[in-house]
Amino acid sequence: MAATDTTPLIERRSIDYIPEAERHGRLLSQFTLWMGANLQITAIVTGALAVVLGGDVFWSLIGLLVGQLIGGGVMALHAAQGPKLGLPQMISSRVQFGVYGAAIPIVLVCLMYLGFTATGTVLSGQALGQLFGVSDSIGILIFASVIVLVTVLGYRVIHFIGRVASVIGVIAFVYLFSRLMSQTDIGALLQIRHFSWSSFLLAVSLAASWQIAFGPYVADYSRYLPSSTSSVKTFLAAGAGSVIGAQVAMVLGVFAAAMSNGQFAGHEVAYIVGLSGTGATAALLYFSIAFGKVTISTLNSYGSFMCIATIISGFRGRLEVTRLQRLVFVLVIVGTATLIALLGQHSFLGAFKSFILFLLAFFTPWSAINLVDYYCITRERYDVPALADPNGRYGRWNLLGISVYVFGVLVQLPFISTKFYTGPLVSALGDVDISWIIGLVLPAALYYLCAKKWHGTVPDQLILPKEQGAIPRTNGLTAQA
């Protein structure tokens, strides 16, 4: 922790490698960051969708938990890469896709961040509007200003806000659950059990997609940990914080939607706060909702900045980003998300459900390829300097990774069921969307088989930038792969 005392408040690193002398932090910060990121209103809304869209309480809760464990496992495997590589998550995709080719999934990741930032800003704007007695649009603008400030400050401030948000979130959720249990018969709701594969798998998909969507940036927030940090402990800290936080929030959403008699959809924030009554308590809950969204919206904006910087750096051949460039990137990202929020604030719930489910088709294949390559093919043995060199070990375009990725997206199309697109096999499966399962399993298996035979040269050990030299491959999750 000594390095923390000398680390500037405003982060000076961006997508470049974090030297060992600048590493700092504890695993507890991973738990609190992801706990705080999930104990928030959007997770409540996501859980509520399982009931709003036809599921019963009992099987929705089971389905959400199954999805959390599956998706949280994928998310945490990405988190474990951060301390070992000292790099943001999407930079490592250059190993599988090439220095230029990595831009393909990264562009789609940027779209995801914009969507999540915009939808989170809508809910935060509602909360701030109620708190300050202004319109939702003014609340959205206030919230966007805060996100710009925190994103520019960077890593240390984000982790600090995550710790505060986790404490506020726990207090708020304990209170809301106590109010909920005093106003409804939870036991009676749990006794209503009408199992349906479509409703059950919808709940699984909602939770799994929620967790998998963190994959493209989770290592961004573990990359400052010392390289000696246990991969298993990093996996458990980030995964447990995310799964516990999301499940608690989604359980609250399920019960709130079940007892709302149709009043939840379209009035999510007001309904949740209404459980506590009015006055000072309601004001504090509005504040907790807005503050809880600061963490996750900042993660999305920070991740967007990392992705845009990664795309640009790939084509210009170096990783450094100036603070002025950082500010411009953040202003463009948050400004775009805010505009989307202002334009789409009155049609939020249905669009959000379709958005997060449709995104799975593009991120599960990327996640499968990245994890199989890291844990089973290269086994942590990356050439970090080569990640910035289009003429180096990883080349400009990796046709193997790109081809498997395209296959992973296309093979899901017959099984996707969203408002954007519904595949031809969905009705034959009882309107059950299993595309995300296909998108994880088939690309992972195909990439493993092909990469084992045709992979490029893999270094004998992890190679770090020249000023740090090379270090031997470390033990961790890789040893178990």
pLDDT digits (tens, 9 = 90+) for 38-80: 988 778 888 888 888 888 889 999 999 999 999 999 999 999 9
pLDDT computed for residue 477 by the predictor: 39
* Per-residue confidence band for 320, with pLDDT thresholds at 50, 70 and 90: low
pLDDT digits (tens, 9 = 90+) for 420-464: 788 898 888 777 778 888 999 999 999 999 998 887 778 888 888
pLDDT computed for residue 402 by the predictor: 95
Domains in the chain, start-ordered, CATH in brackets? Answer: 27-357 (1.10.4160.10)
Give Cα 193 distance to the centre of its chain. 31
For the entire predicted model, the pTM comes to 0.84
Per the document, the length of the chain is 481
pLDDT computed for residue 473 by the predictor: 40
pLDDT computed for residue 329 by the predictor: 80
Tokens of 272: 């949740």
* Per-residue confidence band for 478, with pLDDT thresholds at 50, 70 and 90: very low
pLDDT computed for residue 319 by the predictor: 59
Question: Poorest-confidence range of 133-142, 238-247, 401-410?
Answer: 133-142
- b/e sequence 157-192, b meaning 16+ C-beta within 10 Å: bbbbbbbebbebbeebbebbbebbeeebeeeebeee
* Per-residue confidence band for 1, with pLDDT thresholds at 50, 70 and 90: very low
